[in-house]
Amino acid sequence: MTDASRQLPWRFWIITLVAFINAVSFSVIIPVLYPYAKQFGLTDFQASLLTTVYAVAQF
């Protein structure tokens, strides 16, 4: 097998990059979302609902 046939297509790397950025963005928003929710006067339950809705919307 040649080296060219073992390389992954560039589309694979684009999809991998998009999936990685999506995962990083979700992990960054979690610690930031709760203080913002508290600043706007939401309860703990409402803040957790906001986080859940964000995760569902990303899905």
Q: What is the mean pLDDT of residues 43-50?
A: 92
Q: Residue 34 is which amino acid?
A: Y
Host H or E run for residue 42? none
pLDDT at 7: 83
Q: Give the contacts of 1 (CB within 8 A, at least 6 positions apart).
A: none
Q: What is the pLDDT of residues 7-44, one digit of tens each?
A: 889 999 999 999 998 888 878 888 888 889 989 999 99
Q: Is the pLDDT of residue 3 over 70?
A: no
Residue 10 CA from chain centroid, whole number = 22
pTM: 0.57
Tokens of 13: 């790397």
C-beta of residue 28 within 8 angstroms of C-beta of residue 36: no
C-beta of residue 53 within 8 angstroms of C-beta of residue 42: no
